[in-house]
Amino acid sequence: MRLEELAGTGTGEVTGFAIDHRMVEIGNVFGAFRGSVRNGEDFIPAAVERGAVAVIARPEARVEGALHIADAEPRRRFAELAARFFAPYPEVTVAVTGTNGKTSTVEMTRQLWRMAGHRSASVGTLGVTTADDQVKTGLTTPDIVTFLHNMAGLKKLGVSHVAYEASSHGLDQYRTEGLPVRAAAFTNFSRDHLDYHGTMEAYFEAKLALFERVVDADGAAVVWSGDPKSAEVAERARRRGLRVETVGPGGSLIELVSQIPSPLGQTLQLTHAGKSHTLKLPLIGAYQAANVLTAAGLVLVTGGEWAATFAGMGRLAPVRGRLERAVITRAGAPVYVDYAHTPDAIEAAIAALRPHVEGRLITLFGAGGDRDEGKRPEMGAVAARLSDLVIVTDDNPRSEDPAAIRAEVLAGAPGAREIGGRRDAIAAAIAEARGGDIILLAGKGHETVQIIGEQTLPFDDAQVARECAA
């Protein structure tokens, strides 16, 4: 593609896009963005030396030897032009935002589409997942070049339907811009990522960008009705002109009338288009119903049929690291692994398991280092209030002192047991559990590594639990 065709100015052939000056190749367009740690404008000369034909940067940035595409918001402009370069994309794309439930919702959307006969994929925390493969990307929302390249690659593979996670970081940094998005969904909102956003208000506004900026102007919004912020999200989406449908209690598209836990899942009474339906959902946990209905809503607003969608909901498979049963101990206690790493998510995971507990609920968790410190005692307080036994251990301490992190969590859970090493803590929980007990390993979910200082070490909660139980 010629530069003048892509940007309306300049000359030369565009061969690609890059945001890392070390990855620039001859003919690339380089994005020079100001970050919290580094200023990409400092690397403009190096990018030009490597062959960049154009640089997208603020008007005041100094660019010599290449076309300067100036924009007050260079991330947005970069995404816009990169999207044109990498196109075309799958015919149907939807996005999901919210504090919790994004990963499960996009993966369940993919499964429902697949069962309806579509070649589908999900993109997010678990990586890029199709019916045939899963490729990890390392981030909930990867950088814009990787994101668009992956989307275009899925199109080439014949994938027609994609659901992706839109994280607050990704939305704030324009990492999911450019491609057509037919529908967007909101799951819920609670405290998280204040280390980045600063305030709950700023965090919420970042989420709303999905509805006010990213989704197509004639697109749809699917809103879970059971969250305190749901009405505001719906109103802001309507103000944009989107078709708004709610799912959940009192939902306009799918109403959740009742839910009753069962040994292997739950029974949901639903209403759709004025008719009642009983769904035997093969997933435990009240919040799983929210994820399933949100996924079903996305399928329906993008042309899916109710009969196929309803049948698919009854055949959904569990999502990796989301209330995943890892093992049953020799004493007969099931061990569940969940990604819950916020106060709200821990409460939801415990609430999901509580109806199945005959003895004690043992909750083991920690808090990540170099992340929102204020949520740590709140996590401890929630776990202590709702569990029969709490074990506070290490999560990913990163550059922080693990003992100091544990102390902050324990401040909210003074009666909890402290065991620093996560493997030792898991072994202790399994040794403690008796028949009728349930163990919840919260915080790391699907992750297969633990970050301690500058080391990234292999660690999979599910695998470690199986080893300790053997």
- Check whether 371 is labelled as a binding-site residue: yes
pLDDT at 137: 53
Residues 306 and 348 in one domain: no
The domain boundary residue, chosen from 50, 85, 120 = 85
Q: How many degrees, rounded to 5, is the angle at CA 166 between CA 148 and CA 206?
A: 120
pLDDT at residue 201, rounded to an integer:
85
330 plus 307 within the same structural domain: no
pLDDT class of 195 with cuts at 50, 70, 90: low
**Domain membership flag for residue 465:** yes
pTM of the model: 0.82
Q: What integer pLDDT is reported at residue 200 of this predicted model?
A: 79
Q: Quick one: angle between helices 102-115 and 286-301, nearest 10? A: 50
191 has pLDDT over 60: no
Residue 352 to residue 338: CA distance in whole angstroms: 11
Within this chain, do residues 266 and 415 fall inside the same structural domain, yes or no?
no
113: in domain: yes
Mean pLDDT of the chain: 93
**Does residue 221 belong to any structural domain of this protein?**
yes
**Pick from 85, 100, 120: which residue ends a domain?**
85
Structural domain containing residue 346: 324-469
Instruction: Look at residue 38 in the predicted model and tell me its pLDDT.
Output: 87
Tell me: is residue 395 an annotated ligand-binding position: yes
Residue 50 labelled as part of a binding site: no
- Whichever domain contains 346, its CATH number is 3.90.190.20
Q: Is the model's pLDDT at 222 over the cut of 70?
A: yes
CATH code where residue 151 lies: 3.40.1190.10
238: confidence class by pLDDT, cuts 50, 70, 90: very high
Domain check: are 183 and 44 in the same one? no
Residue 96 and residue 35 share a domain: no
Chain CA centroid to CA 454, Å: 25
Q: Are residues 79 and 189 in the same domain?
A: no
Q: Do strands 275-281 and 324-328 pair parallel, antiparallel, or not at all (unpaired)?
A: unpaired
pLDDT at 264 (0 to 100): 74
Q: Which of 214, 120, 131 is nearest to 166 (CA)?
A: 214
Higher pLDDT, 349 or 170: 349
Has 99 been labeled as part of a binding site? yes
Q: What is the pLDDT of residue 136?
A: 56
412 is known to lie in a ligand binding site: no
- Please, which pLDDT band fits residue 102 given cuts at 50, 70 and 90? very high
What percentage of the chain has pLDDT greater than the value 90? 82
Q: Are residues 81 and 101 in the same domain?
A: no
Contact 113, 124 (CB under 8 A): no
Taking the C-alpha atoms of residue 57 and residue 63, their distance in angstroms, rounded to an integer, is 9
Of 64, 85, 106, which residue constitutes the final position of a domain?
85
Instruction: Average the pLDDT over 22-43 and give the result.
Output: 93
Domain check: are 250 and 185 in the same one? yes
Examine the domain organization and report whether 336 and 190 are in the same domain.
no
Same structural domain for residues 76 and 94? Answer: no
Cα separation of 171 and 90, whole Å?
20
Question: Is 97 marked within a binding site?
Answer: no
Question: 154, 220, 183, 155: which is closest to 93 by C-alpha?
Answer: 183
DSSP run (H or E) holding 147: helix 144-156
- What was the pLDDT predicted at 194? 61
pLDDT of residue 100: 87
Residue 60 labeled ligand binder? no
Same domain, 145 and 274: yes
Is 398 assigned a ligand-binding role in the annotation? yes
The SS3 call for residue 115 is helix
Q: Give the pLDDT score at 439.
A: 98
Q: In this model, does residue 470 exceed pLDDT 60?
A: yes
C-alpha closest to that of 229 among 214, 245, 207, 251: 207
Residue 171 lies in a domain: yes
Per-residue pLDDT of 111-153, as tens digits, reads 999 999 999 999 988 889 998 766 655 445 578 999 999 999 9
On the question of pLDDT at 302 being above 80, the answer is yes
Residue 319 lies in a domain: no
Is 448 annotated as belonging to a binding site?
no
pLDDT digits (tens, 9 = 90+) for 158-170: 999 999 999 888 8
140 labelled binding-site residue: yes
Task: Check which CATH number belongs to the domain holding 58 and give it.
Answer: 3.40.1390.10
User: How many residues in total does the chain contain?
Assistant: 470
User: Any known ligand binding at 190?
Assistant: no
